[in-house]
Amino acid sequence: MRTSLCIVPENNGPVTLLGINRISETPGVRIHRAANGGWATGQFLQRDPTFDEQLRLLGTDLVMVALGVNDSGLPREQFVRNLNLLADRLEAAVPDAEIVLVAPYDYGLPQAPVVAGAIEEVAAARGLGLINLYETAGSHQFFADHGYLSDGLHFSPTGGEYVGDLLFEAFRTNGASLTTASPAPEPGSCGLLAGGAALLLLPRRRRALPARYFAVEP
């Protein structure tokens, strides 16, 4: 059953939601999402201490960091520095949680492979998990041809479902789904060509799909 959320400001002016905690009584994975349109690593680094306090209160098992598209204008070194600072902050707030970095899909700009490579570098250097969508999810043309983009950049509903299924299967199988070689996936399929450092690796603790995870996204 679909539900909707309506927020009415008390006064005039812009409103920014710093996160939404949607809870259901249905058993399964609980997701806490911190996402703001247009945000990059710099904006998350500027969050006040309530960001860290919320992380501790949520007691999440896994933190997924899916950033990079909005950092495309930064020099690679600055992006790597910001990503490391964000990882430092997350590890300090929730030291027992796993952290998985998600490199953006091929969004059709020359910076896309640079961003993906920088994320791969940080994940390897710190021993963090990695899902490299640039290597595994298909080319920008593939996304366009399958109607996965609403405006040439952002996901359409079917595109969101495709990537969501891809991520879920990666979590569920601890990355095994990303190593299955197959032809270009059809809509709704999660069979992917393996490439580069595309595996989800959780080196500190091997576990089944976690009960809770926290997503940091633009």
- Predicted TM-score of the model (pTM): 0.78
Domain harbouring 162, CATH code = 3.40.50.1110
Whether the Cβ atoms of residue 44 and residue 218 lie closer than 8 Å to each other? no
Is residue 11 assigned to a domain? Answer: no
Strand 20-21 vs strand 30-35: parallel, antiparallel, or unpaired? Answer: antiparallel
What mean pLDDT is predicted for residues 194-210?
A: 38
Q: Which has more pLDDT, 191 or 32?
A: 32
The total number of structural domains in the chain stands at 1
Q: Mean pLDDT score of the chain, rounded to an integer?
A: 80
Whether the Cβ atoms of residue 98 and residue 61 lie closer than 8 Å to each other? yes
Is residue 181 assigned to a domain? Answer: yes
Which pLDDT tens digit goes with each residue over 74-97?
999 999 999 999 999 999 999 999
Reduce the secondary structure of 32-74 to three states and give it as a string: EEEECCCCCHHHHHCCCCHHHHHHHHHCCCEEEECCCHHHCCC
Is residue 132 assigned to a domain? Answer: yes
Kind plus residue range of the DSSP H or E element containing 123? helix 111-126
Helix (H/G/I), strand (E/B), else coil: 104: coil
Is residue 142 assigned to a domain? Answer: yes
**Residue span of the structural domain in which 62 resides:** 32-217
What mean pLDDT is predicted for residues 30-38?
A: 79
Is residue 24 assigned to a domain? Answer: no
Is residue 3 assigned to a domain? Answer: no
Is residue 211 assigned to a domain? Answer: yes
Is residue 6 assigned to a domain? Answer: no
